[in-house]
Structure 1
């Protein structure tokens, strides 16, 4: 079981085994905020743990019953929570395709950044994302710079995250020594 040493582990029920022979070779960057555009709430954690109270916010009624997760979430503070071990399949990508291969959850790792498409991410998030990426690539060397993508890249037309606020150049520059 591959767990990130700098994360708080909260085992989500929304995961399962990867298919036999699956090679983890894609890292997908997402964003999420619950309620939308609000930070520092328990909404993300509650959603990924299957404990979201639909009466806590009107938006939660729209997503009640969703069974989703990501491997990790990086909050605005830079704190990391891990919901699914990297060797297991998190349910983060949905209908998705990468380089002609569908079902990206089978062969990818999903990292959520607490944020929105349009609001700049924090320095703490970029630092935590770089460190987490280094850890992931050390354990999954088939993930190369060209195989680190946004949710929008694998679910074109359906998803927009991590959005125009995500500084891909800054992130990739932080990884040049690694990949």
Structure 2
């Protein structure tokens, strides 16, 4: 994603065209909100994994749109990435737990297995606990409000680009020699 970022910034997008992103961005944001609510209502590894996938989808979209307002959107992307890492660690631990419970051959005594599984469960609960307030901040707005805010960044970015282009054209016109200067 990082390697493609400079190329993405230079994509020729004509006119307004935020609609290219709008519906997908709004849908992914809404799905992330729902997945978070479901994960905490039914805290299973599968529910938290589904939420993680939605967080990653939003993270990727924000990475693509970060050029609109780099300071703001790169920070948002970082927070989404952090959340996806917490949820990814939770998922990895859930898979590890399932694996050792299904095949406890590496443990000499049952109490070792029980201790290991308990430590995994505690770490997962900690990851889920730190994920919640971050998720609540990232998914605070209604989907339409979130998308409209990104759209306003888009409009400002487009206007800034048009102003820069107009300034360059003015400079070029000022520096162009007139026919009178060749006489």
| TM-score range relative to shorter protein | under 0.3
| Larger strand share, 1 or 2 | 1
Q: Kindly indicate whether structure 1 or structure 2 has the higher relative contact order, using CA contacts under 8 Å at least 6 residues apart.
A: 1
**Which structure has the larger Rg?**
2
TM-score (norm. length: structure 2) = 0.23
TM-score (norm. length: structure 1) = 0.23
